[in-house]
Amino acid sequence: MCEQYLPLIIDHVSSLCLSDDEETPQLCKHLISYNLTIDEFTHLQSLLLQKIDSSNIILNITSNCFYLSYLTHLKIIECYFGYENNSQHLILNIWRLIKLTHCSLDVTFESRPTFIELQTISTSIKYLSIKNFIFSSIELNHLLRSTPYLRHLCIQFGESTINELYFIRCVPLITSLKLHFSGSLVVLTNILKSMPNLIHLTLETQTINLNGNQWKQILLDYIPKIKIFRFLIKILSFKHNNTEVQLEDFLNTFQTSFWLEEHQWFVRCDWPQHTNKVIILYTLPYCLHDTYVIYQNRWSKSTCPNTHNYNSYDQVINVFYKGRIDNLS
């Protein structure tokens, strides 16, 4: 039926998902067996490639996307890219799509591509999300150079102290940043300095330990236009005795007029029972969509005036419990 009717409507299809998951196994190969190529979907605007483990198929499809004059949205998620092809070709294929505005990449690469070698500049990409790829300052700088009109960015960042003073180019158009960060405070402030018009910041880190007053100063100094600030921070617990007293003092720094009145930013601080070493600090509503790990806490407190506001976690998709099963009753 698909072979019979798809050619009749192919130039009217605006959105397409090609997936090799359990519900649609070998879908890409079926498309090929019908002697159809992606460039025949002449009015395609949005394309999703999901759970495809053939780099040949991924490269062939993205190469043919070059001929799609209306393609603005591309997602390649939960895919695998093996050694048999140069992963750099995939990045180049994407950056050559002159109408593409939204791009999401979640690809496991056996051979890691690099943005340092990317010479092509995309003047169309405005929304970019890249997972399973850890950027350094140098690579981030090249990424920003190759996408000068970027507005929204979601990346993972990891940096050794060797390059922590590396200059990051200013990108005034970026207004939204979602950052999984591993590095020093110097590097983080360098990134924030480069985005002076940032309005929305979501941060996940376990290498930055600042209290509310210190965060306030950084935000005012580097991103004064910030409106939404969400974070999940895992920090080393206090080393001395009276931990609960220190936690109270720490949480009080997030209860100033700057946090509660000017911005209405509320946080929760958890001290899990299973460890003495880690404190978990996060904003409400909870900012991560994928997982929220529930611990038994020896101490937990929030600055939110409504302590029973469970809707603060309404974006959580997967919940994992870490604790003793016999305590669930």
* 302-307-311-313 Cα dihedral, nearest 10 degrees: 30
Confidence at 328, pLDDT banded by 50, 70, 90: very low
Specify if 295 maps to a domain: yes
Strands 102-109 and 73-81: parallel
Specify if 45 maps to a domain: no
Residues in CB range of 298: below 8 A, 6 or more apart? 271, 272, 273
Per residue in 50-93, pLDDT (tens digit) is: 999 999 999 999 999 999 999 999 999 999 998 878 899 999 99
Q: What is the mean pLDDT of residues 204-222?
A: 96
Per residue in 246-289, pLDDT (tens digit) is: 899 999 999 999 999 999 999 999 887 666 678 889 998 888 76
Specify if 241 maps to a domain: yes
Specify if 173 maps to a domain: no
Q: What is the mean pLDDT of residues 42-46?
A: 96
Q: Is pLDDT of 35 > 90?
A: no
Q: What is the mean pLDDT of residues 206-227?
A: 96
Q: Is pLDDT of 157 > 90?
A: yes
3-state secondary structure of 148: coil
Specify if 240 maps to a domain: yes
Confidence at 174, pLDDT banded by 50, 70, 90: very high
Specify if 148 maps to a domain: no
Specify if 321 maps to a domain: yes
Total number of domains constituting the chain? 1
Specify if 233 maps to a domain: yes
Q: What pLDDT shows up at residue 329? A: 43
Which residues span the domain enclosing 274? 226-329
pTM of structure? 0.90
Q: What pLDDT shows up at residue 277? A: 75
The C-alpha atoms of residue 326 and residue 329 are separated, in whole angstroms, by 7
